Amino acid sequence: MTTPADYRPHRVLIIEDEAGLVDSIQYALESEQFETVVADDGRAGLEAARLHRPDVVLLDLMLPGMSGLDVCRQIRTFSDVPIIMLTAKDSEADKVTGLELGADDYMTKPFSMRELVARVRAQIRRSGRTGVFAETNEVLRGGPIELDIDAHIVRVNGEEVDLRPKEFELLESLMRRKNRLSARHTLIDEVWGPSYFGDTKTLDVHIKRLRQKVEPDSGDPRHIVTVRGLGYKFVDE
């Protein structure tokens, strides 16, 4: 059953290295109230598919490093999210391989944005759900902190705490790597996107605010600890 608190826009993960095309796709989808997440190579795409739990993945076949087919195969090991392959080649062989590896649809460049949006909608309708993990109501726990992903609620010792969207995403990134290092660049990629070239102090400012909101004593953090020169670590104690 859907209540307003559970509602979130459909999220599309775009794994594509062609910046101009990404811009057009983002613009087209966001004009239709979709939320977008962008990754410009396969590895970042896989991370984003785990972290952001998209409703549809648009996956370029020709990516630097890991190929789109490999990315597709790997996504299928942990998710049945609909995947639409994007390719410059109109070759039957690629099409068949992509579909065999678990892609749900296939589009050959250049395609119209109207067509793309229609295909994305069709996949969402067909999958008949509001997100791959939407019904599991995933809750991350660590120390006194509880992060209810789908309801987008944070509790500390059972008390609801108000976080800004970036603070929430940052805490989620940290907690998904509980007791492991979260490297600075990884956090920046996940929270601000791989194309973020702003001030890296932004991360520290957000960490500071987060500590003030969730740590018992923000001057002596026990859960969001600094790993000098490398990043941060969420410690579950």
Q: What are phi and psi of 84, to 5 degrees?
A: -110, 120
What sections of the chain are H helices per DSSP? 19-31, 42-52, 68-75, 92-100, 113-127, 165-176, 184-192, 201-214
Minimum distance from residue 63 beta carbon to Ca ion (Å)? 6
- Give the nearer residue to Ca ion in terms of CB position, either 62 or 134: 62
From residue 60 to residue 79, what is the string marking binding to Ca ion with x (rule CB under 5 A)?
A: x-x-----------------
Q: Which residues contact 187 (CB under 8 A, 6 or more apart)?
A: 170, 173, 174, 203, 231, 232
Q: Which residue is nearest to Ca ion (CB)?
A: 62
From 52-60, 135-143, 199-207, 224-232, give the range in contact with Ca ion by CB under 5 A. 52-60
Among residue numbers 17 through 46, which ones bind Ca ion (CB under 5 A)? 17
* Beta bridge partner(s), residue 148: 139, 153
Minimum distance from residue 88 beta carbon to Ca ion (Å)? 7
Minimum distance from residue 25 beta carbon to Ca ion (Å)? 13
Size of the site for Ca ion (CB under 5 A): 3
Contact residues toward Ca ion (CB under 5 A) are 17, 60, 62
